[in-house]
Chains A and B, each alone.
Chain A
Amino acid sequence: MGMAADSEFHVLAVDDSIIDRKLIERLLKTSSYQVTTVDSGSKALEFLGLHEDDRIHQNTPSVSPNNHQEVEVNLVITDYCMPGMTGYDLLKKIKESSSLKNIPVVIMSSENVPSRISRCLEEGAEEFFLKPVRLSDLSKLRPHLLKTKSKDHCKEQVDEKPAFPSPKQEGKEEQQQSKNNKRKAMEEGVSPERTRPRPNGITSMV
């Protein structure tokens, strides 16, 4: 089910709710990603090969060099509200780690709190999804994943956000200005109900 090419992307999903873990796993698999789910931020860091006592000042991860390469993670999608380490804490730790900072991180939350959304986006989250997450939300992941693949090939830091405005549309495959993605997340959160069209197609061509 799905193109072989798509399953080269491995997503790490983090959520303390067993129901939401099952749901996100199914959503991601339906979108042809490889999935690993964990129930906490600390387990996520463990899986990523980062120990809790790693600090930003360390240039090399305090793990054996092979550790974080064995299980390559192309994207982390995490719940915001979790006991202990929140999704925001996890995001920070990933972005502060020299070995992990290029991994795109997406935050999910059941609560639409604009200040929370901005805080996460400012800390480097690529997207902020309101729960319950739907298949149509996952189509927004692809550009971020493709970016990381081309980064490996081109060895370019594509950190600059282009300044052109983008039309407000759903389901675009091309890379967008990140700011517009962020604004969309906030606007969609504010509207009383979701009226966006739901595409039936699940897998898309790489």
Chain B
Amino acid sequence: MRRQLAIMRQSLFDQGYLDEQFIELEELQDDANPNFVEEVVTLYFRDSARLILNIQQALERKPFDFNKLDGYMHQFKGSSSSIGANKVKAESTLFREYCRSANAEGCLRAFQQLKKEYATLRKKLEAYFQLARQTGPLETASRPK
């Protein structure tokens, strides 16, 4: 199972779902804070759900308030970046570009894509943490004791 966990973890990086910032989080985990990564990611999911809902609602009001949308996405991009959510971060950037050029169509498209990426990431990370809980933590990052 440990091998399965390691493979799962590696593929998240290989497929670009996660970047090196996730490793930074792992390096902050230790015996005193054994669930740090999962705690941060859980906070991220909760906060993201709120932001996605806000954006959804804002996209239902015409005309679009691009400033407001950009503001929400700035927050979402920030937290995605903080946990190393690489693909989601990229989609957020795209969305913001459409906001800045006041491209309503682009925003809608980008948002759909972002939601897809986010949903995929969420599913994968939830599966990863579930397996991790059963297996016990991997020694992924070397930390001096």
30 A-B residue contacts at CB 8 Å? A1-B30, A1-B32, A17-B47, A17-B79, A19-B47, A19-B79, A20-B78, A22-B39, A22-B40, A22-B43, A23-B25, A23-B40, A26-B28, A26-B33, A26-B36, A27-B28, A30-B28, A110-B77, A110-B81, A131-B82, A132-B82, A132-B84, A134-B24, A135-B27, A135-B28, A200-B142, A200-B143, A201-B144, A202-B143, A202-B144
Cβ contact within 8 Å between A23 and B144: no
Give 1 or 0 for each of A1-37: 1 = CB within 8 Å of chain B CB. Answer: 1000000000000000111101100110010000000
Contacts of B142 in A (CB 8 A): 200
Cβ contact within 8 Å between B32 and A17: no
Cβ contact within 8 Å between B82 and A23: yes
Which residue from chain B places its CB closest to the CB of A1 in the assembled complex?
Answer: B32
Least distance between A40 CB and chain B CB atoms (Å):
14
Which residue from chain B places its CB closest to the CB of A136 in the assembled complex?
Answer: B24
Known interface pairs A110-B78, A200-B144; A19-B40 also in contact (CB < 8 Å): yes
Least distance between A133 CB and chain B CB atoms (Å):
9
Q: Is A100 an interface residue (CB 8 A)?
A: no
Query: Footprint of A on B, CB under 8 Å?
Result: 21, 24-25, 27-28, 30, 32-33, 36, 39-40, 43-44, 47, 74-75, 77-79, 81-84, 142-144
Contacts of A20 in B (CB 8 A): 78-79, 82
Q: What DSSP secondary structure best describes chain B's contact surface?
A: helix
Q: By CB atoms of chain A within 10 A, which of B21, B25, B36, B79 has the most?
A: B79
Least distance between B24 CB and chain A CB atoms (Å):
5
Bound form: Cα–Cα A135–B84 in Å: 15
Bound form: Cα–Cα A17–B142 in Å: 28
Query: Footprint of B on A, CB under 8 Å?
Result: 1, 17-20, 22-23, 26-27, 30, 81, 110, 131-132, 134-135, 200-202
Known interface pairs A132-B21, A135-B24, A201-B144; A19-B82 also in contact (CB < 8 Å): yes
Contacts of A202 in B (CB 8 A): 143-144
Bound form: Cα–Cα A27–B78 in Å: 17
Bound form: Cα–Cα A201–B39 in Å: 24
Bound form: Cα–Cα A81–B32 in Å: 32
Bound form: Cα–Cα A1–B30 in Å: 10
Give 7 A-B pairs besides A17-B82, A20-B82, A27-B28 with Cβ atoms closer than 8 angstroms.
Answer: A17-B79, A18-B47, A22-B39, A22-B43, A23-B28, A110-B78, A132-B24
Contacts of B78 in A (CB 8 A): 17, 20, 110, 131
Least distance between B45 CB and chain A CB atoms (Å):
10
Cβ contact within 8 Å between A132 and B81: yes
Least distance between B38 CB and chain A CB atoms (Å):
12
Which residue from chain A places its CB closest to the CB of B71 in the assembled complex?
Answer: A83
Contacts of A18 in B (CB 8 A): 43, 47
Bound form: Cα–Cα A93–B32 in Å: 37
Bound form: Cα–Cα A189–B27 in Å: 23
Q: Please tell me which one of the listed residues B43, B44, B74 contacts residue A81 in the complex, with CB atoms under 8 A apart.
A: B74
Bound form: Cα–Cα A27–B29 in Å: 10
Q: Please tell me which one of the listed residues B27, B33, B44 contacts residue A19 in the complex, with CB atoms under 8 A apart.
A: B44
Least distance between A136 CB and chain B CB atoms (Å):
9
